[in-house]
Amino acid sequence: MVTGGAGFLGSHLCDRLIKEGSDVICVDNLFTGNKDNIRHLLGNPYFEFIRHDVTMPLYVEVDQIYNLACPASPVHYQHDPIQTGRTSVLGALNMLGLARRLKARILQASTSEVYGDPEVHPQPERYRGCVNPIGIRSCYDEGKRMAETLFFDYKRQENLNIKVVRIFNTYGPRMSLNDGRVISNFVVQALRGEDITIYGDGSQTRSFQYVDDLIEGMYRMMNNSREDFSGPVNIGNPAEYTIKQLAEIVLKMTGSSSKIVYKSLPSDDPVQRCPVIDVAMSELGWKPKVALEEGLKRTIEYFRGLM
């Protein structure tokens, strides 16, 4: 079962699981998910879609649960911050309870946001983060941190077979036009000939991984046979770019005449974000393969098709 399965990441994961020969139950309330992302799977006899909110209990029979349900971009998770917190915490509790009943393996899609605005760079899994618990991003950051707490408490108290991955900035086809994250923002603005909006002076850095690389890492983590290895594991691309560099690359690749404009940096926006992936490399034999320019080429083609 994949919660959040009609979303950007979840739909790609469903594709991968179907390709591997699994029976897949996709669960989504369609707040940020979209049926168009899974339309090609709806006629597949090994695929089932259930419209459901994970803050409410769900009773199905599965042997693996990928818990991806939660708005992931600031625009969406700040729209209803209370519901975002409920989704992270109550959703985790409901899925953990289901996994306990079924004795199923469960994977939590956590996030690099648990590191907050980091004082350690790049960020290894042992770093505990620097998160503002009362800021505008807290509903997501602290919600995901609490979800990780619940997962490891279920492991210790209930001997549950858990896996936790921390996802760094991911991009690719099926991002929505109004996704609100930096790559989709820049690509859409460039294709429309609108100003490219940079918040801050553009010197802040991010690392960007293509969606196929992420899905491979998640799949390997779920199917890692070591029950004593639960993570958390950083899944991200350690190639680091400034936001200004990214804007310039997008402008060049789209051939856009858009201009770059600068606006004030939002509250609690992290200055640096880059993963240490030694654990993923040693334990999962995983590292990203898709370079930024190649991933952007595929993403730009996707958005051209939408527009």
Tell me the pLDDT tens digit for each residue of 83-125.
999 999 999 999 999 999 999 999 999 999 999 999 999 999 9
Q: Which domain range does residue 56 map to?
A: 2-306
Beta strands in the chain (DSSP E): 2-3, 24-28, 47-51, 64-67, 105-111, 162-167, 170-171, 196-199, 205-207, 209-210, 233-235, 240-242, 260-263
The predicted-structure confidence for 155-209, as pLDDT tens digits, reads as follows: 999 999 999 999 999 999 999 888 888 999 999 999 999 999 999 899 999 999 9
* Residues 6+ away with beta carbon under 8 Å from 197: 185, 189, 261, 263
Q: Output 222 or 117, whichever has higher pLDDT.
A: 222
Interval 274-301 mean pLDDT: 97
Query: Which one-letter amino acid corresponds to residue 136?
Result: I
What pLDDT shows up at residue 61? 97
What pLDDT shows up at residue 225? 87
Question: Does residue 287 register a pLDDT over 90?
Answer: yes
Q: How confident is the model at residue 307 (pLDDT cuts 50, 70, 90)?
A: confident
What pLDDT shows up at residue 268? 66
Alpha-carbon span 54 to 69, nearest angstrom = 7
Q: Residue 259 is encoded by which pair of tokens? A: 């201009």
DSSP per-residue string spanning 110-129: EEGGGGBS-SSSSB-TT---
Domain harbouring 117, CATH code: 3.40.50.720
- Helix%, strand%, coil% for the chain, nearest 5: 40, 20, 40
Q: Sign (positive/negative) of CA torsion 128, 235, 42, 58? A: negative
The predicted-structure confidence for 121-143, as pLDDT tens digits, reads as follows: 999 999 999 999 999 999 999 99
Q: How many domains does the chain have?
A: 1
Catalytic residue (choose from 66, 77, 115, 140): 140
Question: Does residue 73 register a pLDDT over 80?
Answer: no
With beta carbons less than 8 A apart as the criterion, state whether 2 and 25 touch: yes
Q: Give, rounded to a whole angstrom, the gap between the first and last alpha carbons of the chain.
A: 32
Question: Does residue 266 register a pLDDT over 90?
Answer: no
The predicted-structure confidence for 16-71, as pLDDT tens digits, reads as follows: 999 999 999 999 999 999 999 999 999 999 999 999 999 999 999 999 999 999 98
Question: Does residue 238 register a pLDDT over 70?
Answer: yes
Q: Is 140 a catalytic residue?
A: yes
Q: 């399965």: which residue's tokens?
A: 5
Nearest to 148 by CA among 93, 94, 110: 110
What pLDDT shows up at residue 72? 81
Cα-based distances in Å from 170 to 24, 83, 255, 299: 23, 23, 23, 11
Alpha-carbon span 45 to 23, nearest angstrom = 8
* Residues 6+ away with beta carbon under 8 Å from 116: 129, 130, 131, 132, 141, 268, 270
What pLDDT shows up at residue 106? 98
